[in-house]
Amino acid sequence: MGSAAYFLVAEALTNIVKHSGAEHATITLARAGALVIEVEDEGTGLAGIRRRAAFDGTTMLSSPAGGPTLLRVELPYEGKPVTRPTNWGGQDGAFWAANDLRYDALLAPLTRHLLPAADIRPDDRVLDVGCGCGNTTRLAGRAARDGWALGVDLSGPMLATARQRAAEAGLTNVRYERGDAQRTPFDTVDLVLSQLGVMFFDDPVEAFTNLHRSLAPGGRLAFVCWQAFELNEGRVLRREALSRYVTVPPPRVTGALSFAEPARLREVLTAAGFGDIELTDVREPLVVGSTAEAATAFDLGDPTVREWLTEAGPAAAARATEALREAYAARETPDGVVLGSAAWLVTAAAHI
């Protein structure tokens, strides 16, 4: 198995862990060619992984004394050892939670498209899928002043921040729950909403069928998802700058970019029972930092980027950091470092 194939396998395993119920887990590739999932939760999390894992390889379970439970997947691999922690309960979720206001500001241009398209009414019951730190849930709650808004996510750290922000704002009609929107049965809602939160399902048809099931007759769906990698300048700039000196995984067609193709979007939503599907091409400049230094520092705080740099060693990491800073400096304007983005704004109706 080469590097590109490994990253696709690792992402599939990440999805298995994400939907297993495990609060903390990491995926490690040992040099001997073994993918290892370490799970702190030996209960529902491990059971979920065992149930959902189906690999072409040898799997073993072990529980070292005093250590985490291990699910070891023996796979041939020709490449470097790579550690890829899951985002939801660990360091990545904590990073997003610590920087929630910055992410809200970064994505505000997309939010300004999403909310009008969602057409939230005063008495709406709103389900916000993959709500993260809950900004869109709070905005929905303000609009649905006689209704309510529920934000659902898998990340404990992000939900903790979401609840804190809602309490600070005094929003009594907004609440948050940790759950898997692919399988959790929800109370009846009028609107399913999501900003960049619906691209990570391991079975999108099952997930959207579940969401369709929660909608009242005449219910609506509105979400934003990323278009192709090459149309989003932030992703391209960071990859081109860093990959000159460190190993950066190839762009993935799953995960955040899984709905980049319109035909795929329509296929999934139609299979899940939705109709009146409309896609709007949204192109917006995003301010990724007030200065090149700020943009670089933010990227260096990202656990994934830190991992790439650590694996490369100090000398290569220093050169990669300087290349990233220079790339951002070339795009610095009086308004900050501004890079183009491309997303789909998707609306649909529940067909009963």
Mean pLDDT, all residues of the chain: 83
SS3 content of the chain, % helix, strand, coil (to 5): 40, 25, 30
Spatial separation of the C-alpha atoms in residues 140 and 136, rounded to whole Å: 6
Q: Which domains does the chain have, with CATH numbers?
A: 3-85 (no CATH), 94-350 (3.40.50.150)
Structure-model confidence comparison of residues 82 and 92, the more confident one: 92
More confident site: 304 or 20: 304
List of residues 6+ apart from 162 with CB closer than 8 A: 131, 132, 133, 134, 137, 138, 151, 153, 176
Judged against a pLDDT cut of 50, whether residue 165 lies above it is answered with yes
Using alpha carbons, select from 2, 169, 21 the residue that is nearest to residue 80: 2
Question: Which is more confident, 210 or 253?
Answer: 210
Q: How confident is the model at residue 205 (pLDDT cuts 50, 70, 90)?
A: very high
DSSP single-letter state for residue 230: G
pLDDT for the residue 67: 54
Name the nearest CA neighbour of 285 among 116, 111, 117, 106: 106
Question: Above 60 in pLDDT, residue 11?
Answer: no
- 348 in Cβ contact with 220 (< 8 Å): yes
- 34-38, 121-125, 180-184 — which is least confidently predicted? 34-38
* pLDDT over 90 percentage in the chain: 66
The string of pLDDT tens digits covering residues 31-74 is 444 555 555 444 544 454 444 444 444 444 455 555 555 555 44
pLDDT at 93: 84
Lowest mean pLDDT of 118-122, 183-187, 193-197, 249-253, name the range: 249-253
Predicted confidence at residue 239, as pLDDT, reads 94
Residue 84: both structure tokens together? 């890829």
Tell me what pLDDT residue 82 has.
Answer: 40
Q: Which of 76-85, 196-205, 224-233 has the highest mean pLDDT?
A: 224-233
More confident site: 72 or 235: 235
Region of 36 on the Ramachandran plot (φ > 0 left; ψ -120 to 50 alpha; else beta)? beta
Locate tokens 């020709």: which residue? 78
Give the strand pairing for 34-39 and 69-74: antiparallel
Separation between Cα atoms, residue 203 and residue 214, nearest integer Å: 17
Q: Is the pLDDT of residue 10 over 60?
A: no
pTM attached to this predicted model: 0.78
Backbone angles phi, psi at 93, to 5 degrees: -60, -40
